[in-house]
Structure 1
């Protein structure tokens, strides 16, 4: 603000001095006013812009965070896609290998089937026709003679030998046992080729051992009484040790003839 001072001297030099002081003060007024206006404008700008500025900074931070998260998720997605691709390739390869294996198995099965059919055909064509002499009965691959006359055990054995047969030897085949038992049941006893006369142990006449089975014998038999050294097949279908000098019918067994 201009300040007027009273100067007693009214000379021109004094007036000039007053003018200069007034002019200097007037120059100071715009400068101070400009500074106040500038400061006021800055304050107004800050009051109006601080919220958008902070929001902008927050947005930049958020965008950066989202971008980093997106990159991480994209990287994981890429890994998953690669894993899925590898798994798909493995499945395709496995499927191809399985198909090859199936093809080889089917080929092997076809070859085996063809070979088996060929063998069956050959066996059918070459299957011999079995037959027995008159009066003998065919069962499986053997011929059996059920005598109508009675002889002692030794003569029965000799008779069978004269017809190229043996006094009956029975194995462990249950079907053969059933065939013989059904044929002689309710008739009378028949000599078979089983004795303990020579060794004291029950053996078949071809020398093979007999495996003792008590269920095949009459109750309490064999009782090994003196002279009861030969086995008879009773009409009940059970075995009994009888005296070899007794006369019974007998059963001979011989291999069947191939035609």
Structure 2
């Protein structure tokens, strides 16, 4: 019996020892596992850190390259990567701009239509008055080729004097004005001058001296500048020149020419006594540097 109990105790002790060994092995295994897990976790963290470092380095490289690009390329790249909200906002701005442009165009068209309608319904008399006023302003403000008091025609300026002098004094007065007694070179000039005289003559004998004389040689008529009178460009009144000597009271006769007739345009020249005072016509070239007023 004692032997049997002893063997039972031995078996119990062996089982207890086995349990202790099992627990020790389990603890060691658990520790080893924990160590291994800890090491693996460490390794994983190292791998993640390496990956993060690689991604960060890649971003830095891309950033440096991006900064090195021209501004327009960077802007195009940024616009491609803009958020949807930013693109929508940009489209909204574009739509607003287009809308404002259309609104301005409509307002301009409406303004033009109102102006045209106003011009169509405007009183024609008022428009004509405005045109006359505009022409008057242009005439008053533009530069004339002749001084005030002179008449312009055919590139020449004419002064119709209201004073009465002898032929010689009349010529001197014209000279003081930078002119000379008129020299008539054409039928159109004769008609222009005679037309003006019919407006200015107060009576039949209210005639004007012209620059024509035969005082140096009887019957040989010359102009004040010394040029001879051409037969085809002479406009003597019928029966003139007659060199009347007033019944021998003036033996020298009539040696200077005057013009003026109340009812004719061409043949209006008469010879007269040079010392009788008459009005006169001065003539000079128009200033070519001045503009002529033109009506519109």
If the TM-score is normalised by the length of the shorter chain, which range does it land in? 0.3 to 0.5
Higher-Rg member (1/2): 1
TM-score, normalized by length of structure 2?
Answer: 0.42
